[in-house]
Amino acid sequence: MKQSRRSFLAKSALTGAFSTLSLTGFGKELENALEKSPVMSRPSDLKITNIKCGYIRGGHSLFVKIYTNQDIWGCGEGVDATPGTYHLVKMFERRLEGKNPLNVHRLFEELRRSGFFEGAQSGMYVAVLSAVESALWDLAGKALNLPVYQLLGGKFRDKVRVYCDTALYQSKLPTPAQFAEAATQAVKMGFNAIKFDVDQANDPAKYDFYNWTASRGELQRMYDQISAARKAVGDKIDICVDMHGRYDAITGEQVAKMFEPLNLMWLEEPIPAENVEAYKKITDSTSTPICAGENLYLAHGFRRILELGAVDIIMPDLQKAGGLGEGQRIANLANLYYVPFAPHMVASYLGAMASAHVCASVPNFLILEWQIYFHTDPMFKEIITFEGEMVKDSYITVSEKPGIGVEINEEGMRKYAQPGVPFFE
């Protein structure tokens, strides 16, 4: 990120004076000071040269680096809807080459509009766009020596509250006692909010694999699990429950009513995202807060769900909903309806910190998702570099470093790279 002294002086009105000063001892000291200072050329001279990327987790995690003519780069991440998108990244590279990365909103809009007939409304196109857009913010922050939250207009808070997704996945048929144990362990780790999944594809009480209506046995199993967790941690710890959109509307209503005595922070995605009217029916039927949005894309995807009052809380995933600027637009749209903003987050610590910058920059932030795998899987510390603690007492401290404040560690990531796909080439 450091520019040569010669390049700096060539563009400076100090050139003549410096020639004289450099003949003196004072001038030599000034020359040495300038040589040691990180000096950027004019922002208008910054140009994108290329984009490189790498994939891990079966292609479901995409990392991009945007490079420039000034040896400054930006890092971004996309998730979920990213397998097989290498050539989409390279198409974006061709469309961005030679352009100034500081025009983040303009470049985002150019990529979105240029993809109207290529799927730019949702899915893979937007997930890759999210990674690229985040990298542009990181790059802009580094170029201007400012943290991303400052580029987004400043911050309402210095630290961002997170809840711990316990990853007690239902495929392993966990018992109520295991729910209680996982809840207790999360609280011991310092978390004051936790989340559990209750969808269980191999529950022996299911009617059949394709039927989305929960049987009485399934409902009892769900209640017993979450009741055990609530009893283990008491009433002051927030508990969220996720159904992953794998049930029908009648089940959503039954589960929401059933959990009312357990005082949930929210019930997450009882049904798929597509039918907004069905969500409203569930939300209107219960005092349990209903949360949805991880499978909605762009601010357009949240317009009708907010207009109808179909959910109580929105949870866009900023690594696939459109990126950081779009995440802030979604939050601000929700704020007009007095709806809290609680982003979904299944990325690395790069994605977590990028999301934290957005969460700090909006007034209606509620809480951000945090994954237990940051503590249990060494990969998540190997693939990035950062300073300080990741999380403390259920809070992420928002980085004050230029850009996002977390870097991709290519060498640490290499052993986890997706086979058969170019890796940062």
Instruction: Kindly give the confidence (pLDDT) of every residue in the chain, 425 residues in length, as a single tens digit, with 9 standing for 90 and above.
Output: 444 433 443 444 444 444 443 434 444 554 554 454 444 557 778 999 999 999 999 999 999 999 999 999 999 999 999 999 999 999 999 999 999 999 999 999 999 999 999 999 999 999 999 999 999 999 999 999 999 999 999 999 999 999 999 988 766 789 999 999 999 999 999 999 999 999 998 899 999 989 999 999 999 999 999 999 999 999 999 999 999 999 999 999 999 999 999 999 999 999 999 999 999 999 999 999 999 999 999 999 999 999 999 999 999 999 999 999 999 999 999 999 999 999 999 999 999 999 999 999 999 999 999 999 999 999 999 999 999 999 999 999 999 999 999 999 999 999 999 999 999 99
Q: Is 164 exposed, middle or buried (0-12, 13-18, 19+ CB in 10 A)?
A: buried
Q: CATH 3.20.20.120 region(s) of the chain?
A: 154-401
What's residue 28's pLDDT?
Answer: 55
**Contact of 258 with 213, CB cutoff 8 Å:** no
- Name the nearest CA neighbour of 325 among 157, 114, 90, 76: 76
Q: CATH 3.30.390.10 region(s) of the chain?
A: 44-146
What's residue 32's pLDDT?
Answer: 56
What's residue 168's pLDDT?
Answer: 84
Q: Is 40 exposed, middle or buried (0-12, 13-18, 19+ CB in 10 A)?
A: middle
Half-sphere exposure in the Cβ direction for 26 (13 Å, CA) = 4
Q: Dmax over Cα atoms in the chain, in whole Å? A: 89
CA distances (Å), origin 125, targets 121, 301, 317, 322, 377: 8, 14, 15, 9, 29
What's residue 40's pLDDT?
Answer: 53
Q: CA torsion 102→103→109→112, rounded to 10°?
A: -30
**Contact of 366 with 342, CB cutoff 8 Å:** yes
Residue at token pair 């357009």: 300
For 44, other C-beta atoms within 10 Å of its C-beta total: 8
Q: Which CATH superfamily hosts domain 154-401?
A: Enolase-like C-terminal domain (3.20.20.120)
H or E element at residue 355: helix 349-360
Q: Is 298 exposed, middle or buried (0-12, 13-18, 19+ CB in 10 A)?
A: buried
What's residue 173's pLDDT?
Answer: 86
Q: Which two tokens stand for residue 262?
A: 């357990």
Spatial separation of the C-alpha atoms in residues 390 and 79, rounded to whole Å: 20
**Contact of 139 with 101, CB cutoff 8 Å:** yes
Spatial separation of the C-alpha atoms in residues 111 and 35, rounded to whole Å: 38
Top CATH class, 44-146: alpha beta
Q: Report yes or no on whether pTM surpasses 0.85.
A: yes
